[in-house]
Amino acid sequence: MLKPEPKPWIAAIRAYVPGTSKSASGRPLVKLSANENPLGSSPAALAALAEAHVAADYPDPDARALREAIAVVHSLDPALIVCGTGSGELLHCAVQALAGPGDEVLMSRYSFSLYPLLAQKVGAVPVFADPEGYGASVDRLLAAVTERTRVVLLDNPNNPVGTFLPPAEVARLHAGLPADVLLVIDEAYAEYVDPAFQTHAFALAKAHGNVLVSRTFSKAYGLASERVGWATGPAHLVDLVNRLRGAFNVSVSGQKAAAAAMSDQGFVAAAREHNARERARLAGAIAALGNHGISASPSEANFLLVHFEGEVTAGAALAALAEAGYAVRHLPSQGLPNALRITIGTTAATTDVIAALRKLCGEAAA
Ligand SMILES: *Cc1c(COP(=O)(O)O)cnc(C)c1O
């Protein structure tokens, strides 16, 4: 054993595996493996980035202007918003605040691959509730709650499946939890959902003491590189996260770009519309390959989880898509050896992916 020895729960961690952008032979590929925005970023955000050239000074530790920009768009109290180095930092803080060695952090079997790490980092045990189909099951999550459960992590829409738990189901999950269990609703993909379903989690967090909602600028806002996320919830939870987060956790450029992006809701709407259109086109093409054992889970996010249960394997499809120039996400380490998660890319990318899958199945070009 190497000295100094880490804590046993730290030694057991396997580092987060990000999406690749290279083929097995090292050739660069178009990335459809990390759910990035194929439209790039809002021009307003890019202009703000070009102006944010002060590197010598610390950023505003409280991201005041950014929190106010978020509060205006979402009709929230800026005092109940906390910003993070991506929403990942905030999820980490939430788990760290409530769970420790011996405690349980509950999630659906197929959830964001970061979640088990968040539990392990604090010595807690990640507990996986069986899904329904592949998506989260409220009944099975509630049945898996024990007296050791401290936090429930729910990504809605879910990654890697893409399923969306409707507001009534999320409310039923919350209603079934003890008041001393924190429900974190991770809405990284909320902007891709029908706008009518985008505010229910905020209302739940406003009405209850044990709900925290997180959002990110990494997906529909197209600012993954800037590492900005935010969360909202009751004052005592926001206070806990504020104590645990990094003191200067969002850079000057990140704060400026995110605030400008918030004020350009037209870009977000365009991203949602592009995504809905191309996702429907890809889903339709995959449904047409059903006789080859290929299907996609229903998705409200900016990707499709595609299942390969016939003669064409996920591995063969991964290779064929790499050959066509695209990197997608194979998730055997998440218990999905027969599935690929394909990010919705540009219109050209969708066309190429469809053509590559049809060719692999021996079908004529569509
Ligand atoms: C991409 C993603 C995030 C965003 O992480 P950031 O740290 O904000 O970049 C959060 N949750 C889920 C489920 C995701 O897929």
pLDDT beyond 80 at 20:
no
Closest ligand 1 atom, residue 158 Cα: 13
Ligand 1 contact via 155 beta carbon (within 6 Å) = yes
Residue nearest atom 1 of ligand 1, based on CA coordinates = 188
pTM of the model: 0.97
Nearest residue (by CA) to ligand 1, atom 12, is 188
Of all protein residues, the one whose alpha carbon is nearest to atom 2 of ligand 1 is 188
Instruction: Note the pLDDT of residue 34.
Output: 95
Residue 19 is predicted with a pLDDT of 74
User: What is the 3-class SS of the chain, one letter each residue?
Assistant: CCCCCCCHHHHCCCCCCCCCCECCCCCECEECCCCCCCCCCCHHHHHHHHHCCCCCCCCCCCCHHHHHHHHHHHCCCHHHEEEEEHHHHHHHHHHHHHCCCCCEEEEECCCCCHHHHHHHHCCCEEEEECCECCECCHHHHHHCCCCCEEEEEEECCCCCCCCCCCHHHHHHHHHCCCCCCEEEEECCCHHHCCHHHCCHHHHHHHHCCCEEEEEECCCCCCCHHHCEEEEECCHHHHHHHHHHCCCCCCCHHHHHHHHHHHCCHHHHHHHHHHHHHHHHHHHHHHHCCHHHCEEECCCCCCEEEEEECCCCCHHHHHHHHHHCCEECEEEHHHCEEEEEEEECCCHHHHHHHHHHHHHHCCCCCC
Q: Is 159 in the pocket of ligand 1 (CB under 6 A)?
A: yes
Span 152-192, pLDDT tens digits: 999 999 999 999 999 999 999 999 999 999 999 999 999 99
Going from the Cα of 289 to the center of ligand 1, the distance in angstroms, rounded, reads: 30
Ligand 1 pocket test target in 33, 83, 87 with most atoms within 8 Å of CB: 87
Which atom from ligand 1 is nearest to the alpha carbon of 217?
8
pLDDT at 27: 86
Sorted by where each starts, the structural domains of the chain and their CATH numbers stand as 8-40+266-360 (3.90.1150.10), 43-264 (3.40.640.10)
Q: Say what the pLDDT of residue 349 is.
A: 98
Nearest atom of ligand 1 to the alpha carbon of 155: 13
Each residue of 284-315: pLDDT tens digit?
Answer: 999 999 999 999 999 999 999 999 999 999 99
> Ligand 1 in contact with 254 (CB < 6 A)?
no
pLDDT value of residue 275: 98
Q: Kindly give the number of the ligand 1 atom that is closest to the alpha carbon of 227.
A: 9
